[in-house]
Amino acid sequence: MAKLYVCLELGGTHLRLGIVAEDFTLLRFEKLPTAILSEAEDKVACLAGLLQPLIDEAGRKNVVAVSLALASLMNRERSMVYSSPMVRGFDNIELKSLLQKKLGLPVYMEKDVNILLLYEIRKQSLPSQGIVAGIFLGTGLGNAFCIDGKVYQGFSGVACELGHIPVSGLHEPCGCGKEGCIELKACGSLLTKLAREFGCRVEELFVLHGLDAKLRDVICHFALAIATEVTILDPACVLLGGGVIHMPAFPLEDMLAQVRANVRTPYPRDTLRFEYASGDSMAGVVGAAIYAANR
């Protein structure tokens, strides 16, 4: 009998769904706008409605588990969604038990960035000893790290919220419920806003306006966030991912130079190693299967 995983990744922009085999081969994949979930009144029914057709296609007897990669803050037991800053109304839901009841299958869930990091560690054979930090410059500022191959969740399950460290003097409200978070100064959502302000497509932003002070400020805050993590963790490797670093003319080398300028010398500056996420669109879906298999 085949052993299959039905998986879903919830990002700030897209929902990605698929069927994954036990050897982590992707058998089915589709992408939908996250707005589908944001606009749904019953979030659990919406997710169940998206997952059920894949379960039927895979054959219920073949499905080992349903696994979710969520852009959400969760409890340590990974049973409850506390908050989802990029998805309206997806808060304070006992998602695991409610979905298990609707689908009749085991359900696992984990933060999307943790799952993306697990995918890249496996695909790129990144170090299994020490700390591998993943920093994802996307719609938000995502962060995860593994210690000796295991995802670090923190005492309460809410570790690695790098995007929500405070910036002195910044009082703008953040979707997380606080104000003054560094993500407000360094994220893809801000770049989209700046593109509208400049009157260009977001893909053209760095090509046409890369030297503008507002964009230089975004790069500076990206670098400060990364340097903060490096200074605290002294990781064996930093994996950089997210759609922002793949934007045309994105000043990657300049950002990395600013990171190095803001960490101590000789160490960790001299041992600082950067790797880059594959950018595979199905990484969260396959990573969710890897996570479920580990569990």
267: left (phi over 0), alpha (psi -120 to 50) or beta: beta
What value does the mean pLDDT take over residues 123-152?
Answer: 92
**pLDDT tens digits, residue range 86-121?**
788 999 999 999 999 999 999 999 999 999 999 999
Cα 275 to Cα 134: distance, rounded to the nearest angstrom: 9
Task: Provide the β-strand partners of residue 63.
Answer: 4
Taking a C-beta distance cutoff of 8 angstroms, is the pair 256, 263 a contact?
no
Among 226, 244, 122, CA closest to 188: 244
DSSP 62-128: GEEEEEEEESSEE-TTS--EEE-TTSTT--SB-HHHHHHHHH-S-EEEEEHHHHHHHHHHHHHT--S
Domains of the chain and any CATH numbers: 4-112+281-294 (3.30.420.40), 115-276 (3.30.420.40)
232-247 average pLDDT score: 95
Spatial distance between the Cα atoms of 98 and 102, rounded to a whole number of angstroms: 6
Q: What are the E-state strand segments in the chain? A: 4-10, 14-21, 26-33, 63-70, 73-74, 81-83, 107-111, 131-137, 141-147, 150-151, 237-241, 274-276
Could you tell me whether strands 131-137 and 107-111 are parallel, antiparallel, or unpaired per DSSP bridges?
Answer: unpaired
Are the beta carbons of 4 and 19 closer than 8 angstroms? yes
Tokens 């695991």 sit on residue: 96
pLDDT tens across 248-278, in order? 999 999 999 999 999 999 999 999 999 999 9
Measured at the alpha carbon of residue 170, what is the angle toward residues 167 and 176, in degrees to the nearest 5?
A: 75
Amino acid sitting at position 281: S
**126 within 8 A of 239, measured Cβ to Cβ:** yes
Beta bridge partners of 6: 19, 66
Is the pLDDT at 62 greater than 90? The verdict is yes
CA 224, CA 186: separation in Å to the nearest integer? 10
Average pLDDT over residues 19-27: 97
**Encoded tokens for 238:** 């930093």
Over residues 288-293, the mean pLDDT reads 96
The pLDDT value given to residue 11: 85
Q: Residue 177: what pLDDT?
A: 84
